[in-house]
Structure 1
């Protein structure tokens, strides 16, 4: 919610009800605890496989490493959010840690969105535009620069959150909140607020969502005319997971953020309870990302099977499968072996 920093500030009924609802706080904390356990386990294993066991580092692998970094950062921040919830929305770690935790939350969301878009574009070029892809394949150095650019864009948009004290004293409840009461004077004018919301919702979410959807729908249409049913099934599963992350994890939070802020600024109404719950569910993307890696990268699948000893295929069967995937999985450009797997080699 938004409020002024004046001493006469009063909570709206919706936000007060949220702060006083112990059951909601416990439920959100339980979800965060489950997400933290799955996040750190799944993404910790993914990071080890991607960094130390997967080679060569193709552009898609680099994008997946970038995605894993943001997920692990969220996993490290969630315990602080759990403690905050269980203490009745009282933040005792100071303004700096509040800013760090808030920025980590939103950086994870929007870096994930942009990284999934990059992976979708990579798959689109490799499957739908293979001729042009061979000539314009993204180099590893460009992939690294793209990841740095993503972080730069996201942090630039989130700059107001990085430079503002996001804690707020609520004397009537005896608590200090963290990003649950957002000061109206964080930005100087309503135009600045409009630009901030537009950048977050439309630039960092809606546009990448449209691009990602176009890429995966185009890939599915292309593969629907192909007889390689195994590859087709895998890429459809990948597209389903990616679009699930967008629609279930990211879309509700961004839509409610826009609606709540507009209602609060202009009509003195609130959707904060729904927004708070959507922010909680947005963290589930970090649990689904390892599944994206599995369906996106042949190398990742093979290394994972080696680690957990799931060699269900004989060497002959494996060779047959490798040959079956070879059309999409690899190509030689200038003597360098590059992976062009159906899924990003990753949402």
Structure 2
């Protein structure tokens, strides 16, 4: 994201990146690997979650929502790969550019919000079980929450839908997609500040803090009154979720804020680093199936059956049914 409104302001670092074939090849290779793992892992996950897992608890509903966003990203990445391999030359028109950019960023922020929702659901099931049991409308609340997430993210990203995100660079003979944003996308610097604040602090930092609180509380609760198998699985789930935040989401959002501030106020750029961080943000779609494995007993059992692995022993099954019923759905 550059925030440029004219070719004369296109910085040298961005121009150099467009001519760096080695960087575009590395990015394309990463996207290829992510695409394969994404489509295979999430294709299997959506089949298990939709057709083989019952009942559809709130956690399962949130996981289905997360899987759908991941599959949308996996379907969009081949277009990004083609764009990179053609030397940042977009040939599919402005509307397709806007749509695929929207898919890209919707995946990121819907994933962040959905993982927060899964964390809250587990927190209520383990730390506040009485409140959890009394709520008879949990499924409806989960569905409404998913719809609100999509509404919030699409509302914030609305400028991407209404702006021509392509940008022609005559001196290089290419037309970029989203790599050069026009200042005119938003009416003022204040609007840009509000846009970036919402992305970084409302859609990333706040959910991160809530998710961290939920999982730390869950681990603390289980460490005092639960057996090792439940505590170990909860810790592994918390580690996977926090790794996704730390590796996939944090660098991208921090660099987004830093780069945008530098471009808007100091005419400097960190675009190369930001571009590379976008690759790592896509890795979340490969790690999400691990979240399902540790968060859902049904998902684990169905996956083991498909992979022809031994199911849990009868003693473990009884223990899980007694201990995990409130929070493993």
Q: CA deviation at 1:139?
A: 1.7
3-state SS, counterpart of residue 172 of structure 1: coil
Listed one character per residue, the Cα deviations across residues 203-243 of structure 1 (whole Å, up to 9, x for unaligned) are: 10000000000000111111111341011100100000000
Question: RMSD between aligned alpha carbons?
Answer: 1.2
Distance, in Å, in 2 between the alignment partners of 1:9 and 1:308 is 57
Q: Which residue of 1 aligns with 2:85?
A: 86
Q: C-alpha displacement at 1:187, in angstroms?
A: 0.5
Contact 2:166 2:176 in 1 (8 A): yes
Q: Is the 8 A contact 2:70 2:107 kept in 1?
A: yes
1:3/1:184 contact within 8 Å kept: yes
- Counting only pairs closer than 5 Å after superposition, residues 1-347 of structure 1 correspond to structure 2 as 1-6=1-6, 8-136=7-135, 139-311=138-310, 313=312, 317=313, 319-330=314-325, 340-342=326-328, 345=329
User: Whole-Å Cα distance in 1 between the matches of residues 180 and 114 of structure 2?
Assistant: 30
Structure 2 SS opposite 1:224: helix
TM-score (norm 1): 0.92
Q: Determine if contact 1:59/1:138 at 8 Å carries over to the other structure.
A: no
Q: Mark the runs of 5 or more structure 2 residues left unpaired by the alignment.
A: none
- Taking structure 2 as the reference length, the TM-score comes to 0.97
Note if contact 2:73-2:107 (Cα within 8 Å) is conserved in structure 1.
yes
Displacement of 1:268 after TM fit?
0.1
Q: Secondary structure at the match of 2:225?
A: coil
Q: Distance in 2 between matches of 1:107 and 1:273?
A: 22
Kindly indicate whether the alpha-carbon contact (under 8 Å) linking 1:89 and 1:175 is maintained by their aligned counterparts in 2: yes
What are the superposed Cα offsets for residues 67-91 of structure 1, whole Å, 9 maximum, x if unpaired? 0000000000000000000000000
CA distance in 2, matches of 1:165, 1:226: 56
Once the two structures are overlaid, the 10-residue window that deviates more, 132-141 or 197-206, is 132-141
Number of residue-to-residue matches in the alignment? 329
Task: Give unpaired runs (5+ residues) of structure 1.
Answer: 331-339
- Going by fraction, where is helix more abundant, 1 or 2? 2
Q: How many Å apart are 1:137 and its aligned residue? A: 5.6
Shift of 1:136: 2.8
State the 4+ residue runs in structure 1 displaced beyond 6 angstroms: none
CA contact (8 A) 1:3 1:9 kept: no
Q: Residue 110 of structure 1 contacts residue 154 of structure 1 at CA under 8 Å; is this kept in 2?
A: yes
Describe the superposition over 1:149-200 as per-residue Cα deviations: whole angstroms up to 9, x where unpaired.
1000000000001110000001110000000000011101111101110111
